[in-house]
Amino acid sequence: MALNVSVQGAETSDRKGRIVLTESVGRGCRHIRVEIESGCCRPDPGQFFLIRERGVFDPLLGRPLAPIASSNNSLDFLFRIVGRGTSHMASLPPGTEVDLRGPCGRGFPGPVKRRLILVSGSLGIAPFLDASARYRDKMEVTVILGVPGNGWEEFAKWCSSRVPGLRITSDDGTLGNRGNAVEEALSVIEPGDEVWGCGPNAMLRELGHLFKIGSGRILVSLESRMACGIGGCLGCSLPTATGMKRVCVDGPVFEWQEIFPNAW
């Protein structure tokens, strides 16, 4: 039976698609474009789709990915190969049919402050490629990408070609400034700025330091293992300051204080 659930903005539904482009973006990372059979909506940055090859049940579950761009009939994704699902997706040639469920969850709402700082750890940049393209003509947007360093050159170059003025930091100092993405954010933040984060949990937690400089608002996009993507299985539940929440429908984007109430 076809699924239709309205969570935020566009309706979550099961869609059929076909890979029309697949390219390597450096070691272990891939960009794919999927043409959507029935046309597509415009998901909010941070909303995600569960994606899997049609008719293939090993692995059983679709994997959550946040689009980096969307059009009336296509979605682009950027992902890192970490396990069975993503290595299978990376192996699929153009023409492969896929099933998608989405857009799922609550993405980043429109920014409410004057300046927006987007802080990402490696593949956490995915939703910010979309967000920066969407907002950079309307307000001052700074995008920060933190990567380990050596081996990430092609990925960093590819992201830089899509984000004018991208600020890169690397742990080993081989790319951009030496340091991490939160340190870079501390060097550019001004009182009242709005900050969005996406990346490893440890990085998201550290973003709380930006409140000390006077950040007006910090939103974070969380990762979790997903099964249904629509709030039914409780597999993605996590404790928050306001009780148990499901990352797939209550998030993946949350206020920082809700996720890290006891961090400081």
Ligand X SMILES: Cc1cc2nc3c(=O)[nH]c(=O)nc-3n(C[C@H](O)[C@H](O)[C@H](O)COP(=O)(O)OP(=O)(O)OC[C@H]3O[C@@H](n4cnc5c(N)ncnc54)[C@H](O)[C@@H]3O)c2cc1C
Positions in the binding site for ligand FES (CB under 6 A): 226-229, 231-236, 246, 248
Stretch 72-131 residues interacting with ligand X (CB under 6 A): 77-80, 82-86, 123, 126
Q: Report DSSP letters for 176-195, one per residue.
A: SEES-HHHHHHHH--TT-EE
Q: How far is the CB of 228 from ligand FES (least distance, A)?
A: 4
**CA distance readout (Å), 161 to 19, 26, 215:** 23, 14, 28
By a kind-dependent CB cut-off of 5 to 8 A, residue 49 interacts, out of ligand X, ligand FES, none, with none
Distance CA 252, CA 102 (A): 13
By a kind-dependent CB cut-off of 5 to 8 A, residue 152 interacts, out of ligand X, ligand FES, none, with none
Torsion angle of the four alpha carbons 90, 143, 119, 227, in this order, in degrees rounded to the nearest 10? -30
Q: Which is nearer to ligand FES, 233 or 241 (CB)?
A: 233
Cα–Cα nearest to 254, from 222, 225, 227: 222
Do 19 and 10 contact (CB within 8 A), yes or no?
no
Length of the chain: 264
Q: Does 223 bind ligand X (CB under 6 A)?
A: yes
By a kind-dependent CB cut-off of 5 to 8 A, residue 228 interacts, out of ligand X, ligand FES, none, with ligand FES
Stretch 28-57 residues interacting with ligand X (CB under 6 A): 48
By a kind-dependent CB cut-off of 5 to 8 A, residue 168 interacts, out of ligand FES, ligand X, none, with none
Beta bridge partners of 53: 98
Q: How far is the CB of 248 from ligand FES (least distance, A)?
A: 3
Q: How far is the CB of 229 from ligand X (least distance, A)?
A: 9
Residue 259 Ramachandran class (φ > 0 left, ψ -120 to 50 alpha, else beta) = alpha
Q: How far is the CB of 247 from ligand X (least distance, A)?
A: 6
By a kind-dependent CB cut-off of 5 to 8 A, residue 54 interacts, out of ligand FES, ligand X, none, with none
Q: How far is the CB of 68 from ligand X (least distance, A)?
A: 7
Residue showing tokens 């995600």: 48
By a kind-dependent CB cut-off of 5 to 8 A, residue 231 interacts, out of ligand X, ligand FES, none, with ligand FES
Distance CA 52, CA 151 (A): 28
User: What is the contact surface with ligand X in residues (CB under 6 A)?
Assistant: 48, 59, 63-66, 77-80, 82-86, 123, 126, 223-226, 252
